Amino acid sequence: MNDMKLLVTKDLRMWFSISGGLFKKRRWLRAVDGVNLELKEGETLTLAGESGCGKTTLGKTILRLYKPTSGKIIYKGRDITNLNNKQLKWYRREAQVIHQDPFSSLNPFFTIFRILEEPLIIHNFKDKDERREIIFRALEEVKLTPVEEFVSKYPHMLSGGQRQRVVIARALILRPKFIVADEPISMLDASIRVEILYLLKELQKKYGITFLYITHDIATAKYFSEKIAIMYAGKIVERGRIDKIISEPLHPYTEALLAAIPDPDPSNRFKLREVPSGEPPNLVNPPPGCRFWPRCPKFIKGLCDTKEPKLVSIGKENREVACHLYS
């Protein structure tokens, strides 16, 4: 890993327009609301938070599957925020995605060979022998061997773990520099999850890939990444080195996420956990001030519910938190 910034987002917003009906004003769902991120070449940044906090939307916006409402996306020093599909073709080759559901993300009517051949055809690999060689090598790299037994199969003929390996092979086949891994192990058996994470780590070291690892499970993140950003209701509330944040969480929401991790100690099986009650806010009409205050056990009346906290640096380890307890 080097210190060169591969990707930067600046005050990135992705708001979705919601029709208010015949006599109602149009409203906006603020799925991503002012996010600043930096990813260096060859590193992994975990993006963690509850379901519905905007993680996947942020990943899709960074990949330019959505056009941002405002803000900027800078990739390798180039502003790609407003490029059209034709202008983005080079970026499509450099940036790929590993989807959460390995079954729905694979065409059920295509063989594994055809699934892996499609991106090569789209990006003008015209030589059939070259495409075949690349496909066979990709399957070997994700450990689907002997390759000859897999290329003619269809997705329904594979196990969940094997399908996810095909998804990884497809993401790698164009030799991307950046991959958004969106909950890549959440639908797999526990015994397969570590294997897939180790496979991704191995491929990262081999090809210098930069990962944005999206998950709600912080327990798996520590095996795969160096840094973590905690997201809540469309905003980043804490970020820094993952070992420090896991051992010493600062934001009350981060504390809640860690408290929700199952404890492997059998003696603590029936111990009540102090997890905040309630649901994430409605992003069409989020609460004023800090978006976590209606659920926060450390809520300061007159401050948290009126003034939005900004990310501030804590200590000397590039750690930041958006909470009035520290500002």
- Where do the domains of the chain lie? 5-321
How many C-beta atoms surround the C-beta of residue 255 within 10 A? 19
* Residues 89-134 pLDDT 10s: 999 999 999 988 888 889 999 999 999 999 999 999 999 999 999 9
Alpha-carbon distance of 84 to 74, in angstroms, equals 15
**What is residue 129's three-state secondary structure?**
helix
CB 202 within 8 A of CB 211: no
Predicted model pTM: 0.92
For 292, the token pair is: 């976590």
DSSP-assigned letters across all residues of 19-53: ---TTS--EEEEEEEEEEEEEETT-EEEEE--TTS
Q: What percent of the chain has pLDDT over 70?
A: 93
* Residues 215-230 pLDDT 10s: 988 888 888 898 999 9
CATH code for the structural domain at 5-321: 3.40.50.300
